[in-house]
Amino acid sequence: MPDEPTSTTTRTRNRRGEGARLRDEIVAGAVALLDETGDETSVTLRAVARRVGITAPSIYRHFADQPAIMLAVVQEAFAELHAELHRAHDAAGEDPRARLVAVCTAYLEYARKRPGRYRTMFGGLWMPDLTASSVTEADMHALGQDTLELLSTALRRCVDAGLATSTDPSADAVALWVGLHGLAHQQSVTVAFPWPPDIAARLIDALAHLQPADPANRPMRAPATRGAGHRRHRWRCPGMIDACGWQAATVRPLSRWPAPGAPRAPRSAERGRPTPA
């Protein structure tokens, strides 16, 4: 049911060319209501008009309906999120991995600091009826595109630097965003849960396909086959390096292992190899 006009404090009429200021004040009033209540339904035409000090019909000069106000609120929130992620990206230095981690960390921090705005942006609190409002499908698709592009670019640069093994950075950036959103949402709605202290790092490393930060712990690819005479391959085994200090593990072809129950061949003390027959 549409809001009815309510009596408000008389507002001084804007001078010519200052109409945009009233629009900004309407959006600011809606943002303040959202921050106070954390509930999109509290952002009504009447409530916004009361907050700004105008009559509700005055809003229609700038916004066609309540969903249009909420669209402006969400657009402003996405602009704020993008600015914070960009600052974190630039402050992380030149290392691509550090930049990607900084962007992801800033995303989680924004969700923690701005829960009302974040839930409206991503939590399903605001789902306008595109068939019964002025908001269009194109409006919804445009939300957050620059933020996602920043995440995708950061991941692509990790791949270019050999720090990530993603074969489709754009798709993996979406997967990474979904993971970050899931973590942000669960941390906001969980009253008490023993989250691992490095849960964010684990999630980022896995979904971004990041290589281990320490180059010594990165697995090496198996060498190409050298023909029928080549019977041994060297593999780097990070787990063994960590546990035992070994530099490599030798994989012995199955055909070289003795059959079950067969007697062991005597070994040469000098060379440590089976004595030829």
Q: What is the mean predicted confidence (pLDDT) over 243-263? A: 44
Predicted pLDDT of residue 13: 54
Length of the chain, in residues: 277
In a domain, 150, yes or no: yes
Within this chain, do residues 76 and 150 fall inside the same structural domain, yes or no?
yes
List the domain range (segments joined by +) for residue 92.
70-220+232-249
Q: How confident is the model at residue 125 (pLDDT cuts 50, 70, 90)?
A: confident
In a domain, 274, yes or no: no
Within this chain, do residues 17 and 75 fall inside the same structural domain, yes or no?
no
Residues 169-223: tens digit of each pLDDT? 999 999 999 999 999 999 988 888 999 999 999 999 999 999 987 665 555 544 4
Mention every residue, 6+ apart, whose C-beta is less than 8 A from residue 127.
Answer: none
Average pLDDT score over the chain: 79
pLDDT surpasses 60 at 32: yes
Q: What is the mean predicted confidence (pLDDT) over 227-238? A: 39
Predicted TM-score (pTM) of this structure: 0.69
Least confident of 30-44, 198-212, 221-235: 221-235
Within this chain, do residues 178 and 48 fall inside the same structural domain, yes or no?
no
Within this chain, do residues 183 and 106 fall inside the same structural domain, yes or no?
yes
Within this chain, do residues 74 and 206 fall inside the same structural domain, yes or no?
yes
In a domain, 134, yes or no: yes
In a domain, 268, yes or no: no
Residues 93-123: tens digit of each pLDDT? 999 999 999 999 999 999 999 988 898 888 7
Tokens of 176: 């990474």
Residues facing 233 on adjacent strands = 251
Within this chain, do residues 35 and 100 fall inside the same structural domain, yes or no?
no
Q: How confident is the model at residue 37 (pLDDT cuts 50, 70, 90)?
A: confident
Name which residue leads in pLDDT, 269 or 186.
186
Predicted pLDDT of residue 156: 97
Within this chain, do residues 52 and 81 fall inside the same structural domain, yes or no?
no
Mention every residue, 6+ apart, whose C-beta is less than 8 A from residue 153.
Answer: none
Within this chain, do residues 208 and 95 fall inside the same structural domain, yes or no?
yes
Q: Which of 215, 255, 229, 213 is nearest to 96 (CA)?
A: 213
In a domain, 263, yes or no: no
Within this chain, do residues 103 and 186 fall inside the same structural domain, yes or no?
yes
DSSP-H helix ranges across 190-255: 199-207, 238-244
Name which residue leads in pLDDT, 201 or 14.
201
In a domain, 184, yes or no: yes
The CATH number assigned to the domain holding 212 equals 1.10.357.10
pLDDT surpasses 50 at 257: no
Q: Cβ–Cβ contacts within 10 Å for residue 153, how many? A: 18
Predicted pLDDT of residue 258: 52
Residues facing 267 on adjacent strands = 274
Number of domains in the chain: 2
Predicted pLDDT of residue 247: 36
In a domain, 271, yes or no: no
